[in-house]
Structure 1
Amino acid sequence: MSDFLGTGWGFPPTFDYNNNTVIMTSDEVDIQLSLQILLATRRGERVMVPGYGCNLDEMVFEPITTTFKTYISEMIKTAILYYEPRIDLNSVSIDDSQVTSGFIIISLTYTVRTTNSRFNFVYPYYLNEGTEIQ
């Protein structure tokens, strides 16, 4: 019944070599992956859609202030408004209780327009670069 929510490639792209096909996602899972990609993409990174993305990577070393949290919330709201028409964003909240561990939690609550179903999406945003890479 929810075929109209869309079907797309999974992310990262995965292939079924037995059937020579691409693993696809659909419905609410496709929306969740779309949000993940939207928040992780830098504006200008996609050549054919240069405005797509959030530029969250620019905020990596910024101090956690009310201005910082408001700015991130507005970037996310704008990106979803323009690039994810299947949902209505109800709220964006930023939990900075783990900031001493080097990350904040961005939580989105949204409603899928065609089914009027509410969902949550949690995006961990790491404030420091990886230092224990081997």
Structure 2
Amino acid sequence: MSEHNAFLGTGWAFPPSFAPAGQAVTLSRDEQDIHQSLTILLSTSPGERIMHPDYGCRLNRYMFAELTQTTLTEVEYEIRQAILFFESRIDLMAVSFIPEPMQGKLMVDLDYRIVTTNTRGNMVYPFYLQEGTLVNPALLPAREIQDG
């Protein structure tokens, strides 16, 4: 790959960090930038960005959903729509799921092709279906148990 492909882009690394020597922002480029962009896209709910309220993926609506084929189909649809509208640098080839119900997690495997280089890539995004299910009621203060 060339030193820098303008279409693939350069942006702040995620999570944002600063290089200690020059006090400059750490940047990500090319495939790394796409991977980080996908992570940000899937982690952002529409409405969270004030200046771009449509940006994001509606995965949070499935946070406590029962893990059925219908849910998986809807999650796939939401992911495909978000990538179609907000990540034009890739063509999404396939979305597959690896359920880990004992951990309340659904691993989302994305296979994609980078448009300008015709290079295939993939990433696995962990989506937590039941975040907070490992909370032990014995550890909560008595007031929270009665209110909840």
- What is the TM-score of this pair, normalised by structure 2? 0.84
Is the strand fraction higher in 1 or 2?
1
Map residues 54-73 of structure 1 onto 2, 5 A cutoff.
54-73=57-76
In our comparison, the structure showing a higher alpha carbon Rg is 2
Q: Which runs of 5+ in 1 are unaligned?
A: none
Structure 2 stretches of 5 or more lacking a match? 136-148
- Which residue pairs with 2:91 in the alignment? 88
SS of residue in 2 equivalent to 1:76:
helix
Cα offsets for 1:77-121 (capped at 9, x unmatched): 00000000000000111122x112211110000000000000111
More displaced stretch, 45-54 vs 22-31: 45-54
Provide runs of 4+ in structure 1 moved above 6 Å.
none
Which of 113, 117, 120 is the aligned partner of 1:118?
120
Q: What percent of counterpart residues are identical?
A: 45
Residue 32, structure 1, aligned to residue 1, structure 2 = no
CA positional deviation for 1:21: 0.6
Q: Distance in 2 between matches of 1:101 and 1:31?
A: 28
Cα distance in 1 for residues equivalent to 2:49 and 2:19: 26
* Equivalent residue letter for 2:21: N
User: Superposition RMSD on alpha carbons, in Å?
Assistant: 1.2
Deviation of 1:16 after TM superposition, in Å, equals 1.8
Query: When the two structures are aligned, how many residues end up with a matched partner?
Result: 131
Q: What's the TM-score once normalised by structure 1's chain length? A: 0.92
